[in-house]
């Protein structure tokens, strides 16, 4: 092993240790591969589990989000503040900014412009514009939905499409539907 390889290994180890410290990882908590029997205790790095998963993922605030088929990069608990590209149907927790691609899913809030081929879903509140074949907002829609089929839990804006559904105002109205 030459000096360059050793120096590179030391640098990588220092960066990894710094990143683990910044993320709040703590050594010495947890048990490794013991099937919950406690028989194989080890010093391990432990990340508390959170959100909807059991993998201990951390959520991140991203400037650029990318979904590839069913996966969100780095994970579905992250939020995008900027540009989101959908090359499939992956899901992020929140999205604010421009969302473009094939299909988009946001489990909580969306704000901005979503232009997708097949459509998009929002789990809580949408503030902005949804453009797609099918647009769904489970909570309040504040803005405009333009597509073949539009659904809003509580409409505060305009729906333009062949079928427009919402739980407030006119429940189902073709072509143009408004709620305030």
State the first-to-last Cα distance of the chain, in angstroms, to the nearest integer.
70
Q: How far is CA 136 from CA 61, 119, 157, 174, in A?
A: 24, 8, 14, 16
* Cβ-based neighbours of 72, under 8 Å, separated by 6 or more: 65, 66, 78, 90, 91, 92
The per-residue pLDDT for range 104-147, each reduced to its tens digit, is 999 999 999 999 999 999 999 999 999 999 999 999 999 999 99
User: Each residue of 143-179: pLDDT tens digit?
Assistant: 999 999 999 999 999 999 999 999 876 677 788 888 8
Prediction pTM value: 0.67
| Domain residue spans of the chain | 1-47, 60-179
**In this model, does residue 23 exceed pLDDT 80?**
no
């Amino acid at each position: 092993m030459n000096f360059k390889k050793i120096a590179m290994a030391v640098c990588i180890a220092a960066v990894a240790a710094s990143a683990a410290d910044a993320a709040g990882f703590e050594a010495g908590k947890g048990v490794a591969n013991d099937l919950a029997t406690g028989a194989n205790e080890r010093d391990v790095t432990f990340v508390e589990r959170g959100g909807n998963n059991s993998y201990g993922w951390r959520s991140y605030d991203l400037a650029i989000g990318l979904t590839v088929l069913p996966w969100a990069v780095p994970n579905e608990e992250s939020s995008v503040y900027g540009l989101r590209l959908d090359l499939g149907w992956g899901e992020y927790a929140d999205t604010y900014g421009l969302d473009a691609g094939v299909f988009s899913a946001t489990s909580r809030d969306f704000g901005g412009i979503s232009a997708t081929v097949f459509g998009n879903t929002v789990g809580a509140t949408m503030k902005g514009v949804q453009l797609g074949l099918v647009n769904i907002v489970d909570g309040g829609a504040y803005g405009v939905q333009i597509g073949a089929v539009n659904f809003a839990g509580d409409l505060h804006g305009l729906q333009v499409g062949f079928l427009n559904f919402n739980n407030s105002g006119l429940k189902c109205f073709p072509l143009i539907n408004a709620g305030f």
